[in-house]
Amino acid sequence: MKAFRIVIFDLDGVLVSEKSSWEAVHKALGMEKEGQINLRGYLKGEFDYKEFMSRDIALWKNTDLNGIRTIVNRISLTNGARETVHSLKKLGLKTAIISSGISVLADRVKAELEIDYAFSNKITEDKNGKIIGIEVVPVHRKASVMRKLARLEGVSTRNCIVVGDGIYDVPMFKIAGFSIAFNSDNDEVKGAADISIDKKDLREIIPYIKLLLKRFGPQHFSNYTSA
């Protein structure tokens, strides 16, 4: 049994090249400006995250789910993503995605990379074929989803390694056993992480994780409970 059991990845900007899958869809549909208006309203506290999702999805009114899937399927994996997940599996670690991005992208990446878990905001269709959203990972509550995952696996959040790039990943950094800021353009995110990697190749995290597994035995976190 290893002290570190799970590596948790953010999706947008970490496992895939796009910084925001929501913005990628808006841009493809010519709704980038309207999407930015929605984002500013949410950040100002004018409405909650569920309403934010609804307003964003409403911008896609002339597109069906297959159209959204076609757009996100054009989003490429980050350099080294495939090799990195494969290496982590060989090391005996489980992998997970915790993202406030779009489920059609998260589910595709989960299947493509054979990741164990994927938590993201569900995009589906109602019985009339209208696109609807189901809130699963509110952007401010990613740490709560991380705690849920730890309970599912019967481990502490301190047995988790988190790889993220945005300010909303910082709460996960705080309860993880080790945190990596990957390709982040935010100094606060970099400062909150145990290490920061600027090179746009996910394989750069592997030597650090191997070192952690070598350094810490199974008793290292024995005094911790889930944060």
Q: Where in the chain are the domains?
A: 6-17+77-215, 21-72
pLDDT value for 2: 52
Q: Looking at 12, 56, 165, 169, which residue is catalytic?
A: 12
Least confident segment among 85-99, 122-136, 157-171, 198-212: 122-136
CB-CB contact of 3 with 217 (8 Å): yes
Place of tokens 């944060």: 227
Tell me how far apart the alpha carbons of residues 146 and 124 are, in angstroms, rounded to a whole number.
23
Domain spanning 6-17+77-215: CATH superfamily: HAD superfamily/HAD-like (3.40.50.1000)
Q: For residue 28, what are its two tokens? A: 């493809």
pLDDT value for 227: 41
Q: For residue 101, what are its two tokens? A: 């991005």
pLDDT value for 68: 94
Q: For residue 76, what are its two tokens? A: 């490429």
pLDDT value for 130: 87
Q: Kindly tell me the burial class for residue 56, based on how many C-beta atoms sit within 10 Å of its own C-beta (0-12, 13-18, 19 or more).
A: buried
Residue 107: active-site member: no
Q: Provide the sign of the torsion angle of the four alpha carbons 99, 151, 93, 112, taken in this order.
A: negative
Asked if pLDDT for residue 92 goes beyond 50, the answer is: yes
Residue 64: active-site member: no
